[in-house]
Chain A
């Protein structure tokens, strides 16, 4: 006790010390970056800012001269400990370095892109000094931190790829988002030209969007290929790939597909309304659909080089997303139908709700069918977490829907609405959610029940074969067959025998002939037919069988 206690405390103290030192380093570096960027911006403006120059300069200089040297001293103090760092220290170092790197990366990249985009946009309040100063200062901080995280001396042994993985995810999402906007702006440019009365030319806007998209894509490419994030196949890397590369793009593409259906479904049956919807929402919908689907397909293909769980997890999350869309769509369709029957005054809202609902429902059903594969046999074990999460989520939705319905019914009966609406109209929204949740939950409850039965039936088979079977068999009787290897035909034939649990104990000796196996099968079958209870069957070379009756579970327990 006297030896373990101090070492445990010592470890805690060491971890706490690492946490505090690296936490301080993080704060100092962020302060230094902020001060340096303010200082550079002020210097680029020739110290003649229109704003509060003294405030800016005082902040900039104090942050730079206090935080900078202190950060340097602190780094010199901690760096010795990083060379043969304990796993805890290494992990803390990686987390701190990643935090600094990400802050610097995000600030520097957005400032630089804002600067380049601002140059083509020609906006009156745009100044190039401030974004340039910010970009330079944070690039310096980010590059310094990145080099340390990848230097052979200080490279963290734990979570070594954290910074690159998260930087890659950021760049990917920024690239996808800005590329969607660029494509969407190009689409608007094609669609809307004749009805402009005055305004700036939309070309600079599109150029700015293209600059953002190209810059972000270059950043992503640098992380993905040059920094080899593509080859990082540790668990965290795969998880981030599944979330940022597959699930978010999948969500965006499915929503965009639903929005596209919302435009295309002809309710009401008017070409003019359809055109108006397309002009208003078409460009963004098409852009997101294109970019998100391309991102999704690319990363889905990348998953084949990852551990099997990554592919399964991606499939389950996507089918969960599809299910959520399906249920939302179903709820909206119910809502719209209730609206249609309750009052003729809803003629305006009902079609738009119905269109949105149908779009979500169709996309949800299609994606769910494809990814959940309701008809294919599934491994019950693999989807237990999915089902448990699903029940939790639907319970919350159902509870909220019930509360809203109850509240509104009471409010309606007490006459507190002050509106001239029918009761059905007043509660149709939450009734839609409730019906959708109940329908989807019922289906999954049936699935859950059948999975549980399968799991129960399966569980004993996975136990170690010989020792546990006699006591653990819940149904049927045990037949232990002692026979040389190569007798699979006999064993599988016995397994067809209904209510029989076959265990094979390999015997020494050559393989049995086909006739011998047939004879043995016949003999054992006859015995099983005539006598109940567990049995040990020893098969010899000519196919003759010697039986020993075994004690059943009840007898062996006494």
Chain B
């Protein structure tokens, strides 16, 4: 639940993703919006909020001049018979450069913020 990992450099794509996720997990929507492009138009895609057994690890960070793709592994410590097994899958954040920092363009829906259009309103 608490971020046990140390915070990364805020000027890197993964640092932005991490700060966004920390705010998202804390349900601090206003802070989370700052890291997303057109953040003010967005709401949580999944109104239920994050599960506290959500774990996201960084797999790869690919960066070009203006865009970056951050590959992450999303895993849940899903409580089955043993309370030990979980499931995980890779997903991506896409970012674009905004001055000396980065803004998130696209993200996995479980931890995502959607525009009204994306929500189907």
Contacts and interface: CB of A to CB of B under 8 A. Distances in A.
Q: Do A and B come from one complex?
A: yes
Interface of A: 110, 114, 117-118, 121-126, 178, 181, 185, 192-202, 205, 208-209, 212
B84 A212 contact: yes
B56 A200 contact: no
Given A110-B81, A123-B79, A208-B84, A196 B57 contact: yes
Interface in B26-60: 51-59
Given A124-B51, A194-B5, A205-B77, A199 B56 contact: yes
B107 interface: no
18 contacts: A114-B83, A118-B79, A123-B52, A123-B77, A124-B53, A178-B82, A196-B4, A196-B58, A197-B56, A198-B3, A198-B18, A199-B55, A199-B75, A200-B54, A201-B2, A208-B84, A209-B84, A212-B82
A194 B53 CA distance: 18
Given A195-B59, A196-B56, A198-B55, A181 B5 contact: no
B76 to A, nearest CB: 10
A200 B1 contact: yes
B14 interface: yes
Nearest to A124: B52
B77 A181 contact: no
A201 B79 CA distance: 16
A128 to B, nearest CB: 13
B106 interface: no
Contacts of A192: 57
A202 B77 CA distance: 10
A213 B4 CA distance: 26
A122 B57 CA distance: 21
Interface string B70-81: 001001010101
4 interchain residue pairs of minimum CB distance? A199-B55, A196-B5, A195-B58, A198-B21
Contacts of A194: 5
B21 A197 contact: yes
A484 B111 CA distance: 97
A209 B95 CA distance: 38
Given A193-B5, A194-B5, A199 B82 contact: no
A195 B52 CA distance: 19
A208 B52 CA distance: 17
Contacts of A125: 79
Contacts of B72: 197
Contact of B54 (A118, A178, A198): A198
Contacts of A201: 2, 4
Contacts, number: 84
A208 B57 contact: no
Contacts of B17: 197
Given A197-B72, A198-B21, A200-B1, A118 B83 contact: yes
B53 A200 contact: yes
A194 B7 CA distance: 10
Given A192-B57, A198-B25, 8 more contacts: A124-B53, A181-B82, A185-B84, A196-B56, A198-B18, A198-B54, A198-B55, A200-B52
B83 A121 contact: yes
A181 B85 CA distance: 9
A123 B56 CA distance: 17
Contacts of B54: 198-200
Contacts of B59: 195
A196 B59 CA distance: 9
B5 A197 contact: yes
B30 to A, nearest CB: 18
Residue of B58, B75, B77, B81 with most chain A CB atoms under a 10 A cut-off: B77
A178 B22 CA distance: 32
Given A192-B57, A195-B59, A198-B56, A126 B77 contact: no
B66 to A, nearest CB: 22
A192 B18 CA distance: 17
Nearest to B61: A195
Contacts of B55: 196, 198-200
A185 B77 CA distance: 12
Contacts of A110: 81
A121 B59 CA distance: 25
A181 B2 CA distance: 24
A192 B88 CA distance: 15
B26 to A, nearest CB: 10
A199 B4 contact: yes
B24 to A, nearest CB: 8
Contacts of A123: 52-53, 77, 79, 83
A82 B41 CA distance: 78
Given A196-B58, A197-B14, A205 B84 contact: yes
Interface in B61-112: 72, 75, 77, 79, 81-84
A192 B57 CA distance: 9
B20 to A, nearest CB: 9
B84 A181 contact: yes
Contact of B58 (A122, A197, A202): A197
A272 to B, nearest CB: 12
A215 to B, nearest CB: 12
A195 B5 CA distance: 8
B28 to A, nearest CB: 13
A181 B53 CA distance: 18
